[in-house]
Chains A and B, each alone.
Chain A
Amino acid sequence: MKKRYLYVLLAPGLLFLTLFMIVPLILTVGSTFFKDGGFTAGIYAQFFKDAYFLDILGTTLLVSVMTTLLCIVIGFPVAYYLSKLPPRKKGIMLALAIFPLLTSSVVRSFSWMIILGKNGLVNNLLTALGIIDEPLSILYTPAAMIIGLVHLFLPLILITLVGVMESIDHDLVRAAQSLGASRLTAFRKIVVPLSIPGLIVGSILVFVGSLTAYTTPALLGGKKRVVATFLYQNAITLNDWQAASAIATIMMIITFVVIGLMNKAAAKFKPKG
């Protein structure tokens, strides 16, 4: 049985993950169920009765869903354009597209603060053009968070979509056209359905990323909290590690549920047979 030896290759990685991920996870989740020496799920009941927390959870979900949808709408056509470029140009364009991921999120968020602030680029421009009289409050709203997060996560959906779209044989599009489909129809009936797997993966990355993002919402959201900043506040400011652990557990569960739902949706689009 030569194959047994192959498992040895997994050992270092497995050991690392067990020590630094699985054990801490179990401890984190486990710690939320003990209070005054007894076993209880009371902390979760408290959270879900607390209007303040529910509001934060609502904002977080809204921001994450909107970010994901915007990334899809903006990313899909761009990814198709990128996938059709000649190899050299595509490499350069993809590198440019990925650039936001490579800059520090603090720097990136500060630039958005300058652009979106009361005296920022956007407001000055709109006032100068006479479109508005009073500066809009964009900064420190969920909208600002969404803008920052879309900027941050668009590359993720681009990379996954370009990968999938590149592998679509262009003869399929030509075949559809020769059968009478206009460019748009061929795109709708061939490219879109065949890109769904990439879209799902990209969406999961963006959604989970937005759900757990800390710096961008913290800097652009002002007083408006999301779950990640709330968690930080509980742990560091209030020193309530049990509450923080419970919030972390809730975030994990949401993540798993979303991934599960999206995979289910993906299975629907997979070619059968």
Chain B
Amino acid sequence: MSLLQLENVSVAYDQQYILKDFNLSVEKGHLISLLGPSGCGKTTTLRLIAGFLDATDGRFAFGGKDYTRVPINKRNFGFVFQSYALFPHMSVYDNVAFGLRLRKVKEDEIKKRVMRMLEIVSLGGFESRFPQALSGGQKQRVAIARALVIEPDLLLFDEPLSNLDANLRVNMRVEIRRIQQELGITAIYVSHDQEECFSISDRVAVMNKGIIEQLDQPSVIFQYPKTEFVARFIGFNNFIAFEEREDEGSFYSLRSGDYHFHAAKAPGMPATMKGAIRPDDLIAGTLAEIQPGDNVLTGKVKVSTYLGRSYQYVVVTPLGEFTVNKEMQQPYANGQEIRLLFPSEKLVLVE
């Protein structure tokens, strides 16, 4: 039994549907991410769960109870806002104590719990500061502490790290994951940064235009995106449209024009006519290094760019342009003929 369930939920702003027949379920103790480009409805989903906006249709169940009409303040969910939303007229201590005071907890008990929570987010000694006098990372941690101290049944994060610089972002996401696992809290985490989502989640839901395209473990999505959208979003930017597909047991044999390919089967991989592969997984070599044959295309280098560790080439082939990354000392020249090898276990089929 999952802890949280959205069933056929729809949300519309001004007659325009942002979410339509949206479904999502989350297991107790899991951290699940909603990943997708800006504007795809991640925040809307999160705000719907928090109760900040109402669904036009559908049902939201939590812990087996219907929560669709439960008011915000009766849900006991913690919300960490993208802009933190710390109360500017209250000290760090009062911000964190806010939820406990409303729960009529005794002042000495409040003090104990607030101090412990500030310790957990490494903000001991900051209790009398005001939000204006905190850095972005510190504000962020106050926001987390404020949401955590009420011991919420569910923790909701809306891009909590997007306003921080790169280093802090990596540290903070580890912190968030640590706290979430230590306290065993169920959490939903929204981000448009795939690395962030993949690194801290038990499950990732990749969203596009108000629907979930794929919900899976991060490692599964990373290797086997189900749709072209998901593939593109996580960096598979090479696609081949096939004309024929044969099931050969452990692999598919595929044809596009005069070129033949094999793609290894994987559980859950859709049987379609569209192949995808990452630039990092394509293997480039000179005409001498790679012999013509199945899973090989010959083409000319059109553009080359230096990525630091490797070079990236755009190669024009009879099946279109492909992007490939290769670590090498001496780059290929523009216009040079090279061959591309598509390893059959890296070539995946997508919808």
Contacts and interface: CB of A to CB of B under 8 A. Distances in A.
Interface of A: 169, 171-172, 174-182, 185, 189-190, 193-194, 269, 271-273
B200 interface: no
Interface in B89-116: 89-91, 98-99, 102-103
26 contacts: A171-B81, A171-B85, A172-B87, A172-B88, A174-B72, A175-B81, A178-B72, A178-B73, A178-B75, A178-B78, A179-B102, A180-B73, A180-B76, A180-B103, A180-B150, A181-B98, A182-B73, A190-B87, A194-B89, A271-B88, A271-B89, A271-B130, A273-B91, A273-B131, A273-B132, A273-B133
B132 A271 contact: yes
Contacts of B150: 179-180
Given A175-B79, A178-B79, A180-B102, A269 B89 contact: yes
Contacts of B130: 271-273
Contacts of B88: 172, 194, 271
B184 to A, nearest CB: 20
Looking at A174, A177, A179, A181, which has the most chain B CB atoms within 10 Å of its CB? A179
A271 B94 CA distance: 12
Nearest to A273: B130
Nearest to A185: B102
Contacts of B52: 174
Given A176-B87, A177-B51, A194-B88, 12 more contacts: A169-B85, A172-B87, A176-B98, A179-B98, A179-B150, A180-B150, A181-B98, A194-B89, A271-B90, A273-B129, A273-B130, A273-B133
Contacts of B85: 169, 171-172, 174-175
Contacts of B204: none
Contacts of B129: 273
Contacts of A178: 50-51, 72-73, 75, 77-79, 147
Contacts of B131: 271, 273
B344 interface: no
Interface string B113-151: 000000000000000011111000000000000110010
A181 B100 CA distance: 10
B223 interface: no
B310 interface: no
Contacts of B103: 180
Contact of A171 (B83, B90, B133): B83
Contact of B102 (A175, A181, A273): A181
Contacts of B90: 271
Interface of B: 50-52, 71-73, 75-79, 81, 83, 85, 87-91, 98-99, 102-103, 129-133, 146-147, 150
Contacts of A182: 71, 73
Q: Which 10 A-B pairs have the closest CB atoms?
A: A273-B130, A179-B99, A171-B85, A273-B133, A177-B72, A180-B102, A175-B85, A178-B79, A271-B89, A271-B88
Contacts of B83: 169, 171
A272 B130 CA distance: 6
A213 to B, nearest CB: 34
Nearest to B128: A273
Contacts of A169: 83, 85
Contact of B73 (A177, A190, A271, A272): A177
Contacts of A189: 98
A114 B91 CA distance: 54
A181 B52 CA distance: 13
Looking at B50, B72, B102, B131, which has the most chain A CB atoms within 10 Å of its CB? B72
A185 B87 CA distance: 14
A187 B234 CA distance: 43
Contacts of A273: 91, 129-133
B75 to A, nearest CB: 7
Nearest to B102: A180
A176 B78 CA distance: 10
Contacts of A190: 87
Contacts of A174: 50, 52, 72, 79, 81, 85
B38 to A, nearest CB: 18
A271 B129 CA distance: 10
Contact of A180 (B51, B81, B99, B133): B99
Contacts of B132: 271, 273
A172 B132 CA distance: 15
A190 B132 CA distance: 16
B146 to A, nearest CB: 7
Nearest to A272: B130
Contacts of A269: 89
B122 to A, nearest CB: 19
Contacts of A194: 88-89
A87 to B, nearest CB: 14
B15 to A, nearest CB: 15
Nearest to B76: A180
Nearest to B50: A178
A272 B102 CA distance: 23
Given A180-B103, A273-B129, A273-B130, A175 B73 contact: no
Nearest to A176: B98
Contacts of A171: 81, 83, 85
Nearest to B158: A171
A185 B102 CA distance: 9
Contacts of B72: 174, 177-178
Contact of B89 (A175, A181, A185, A193): A193
A174 B79 CA distance: 9
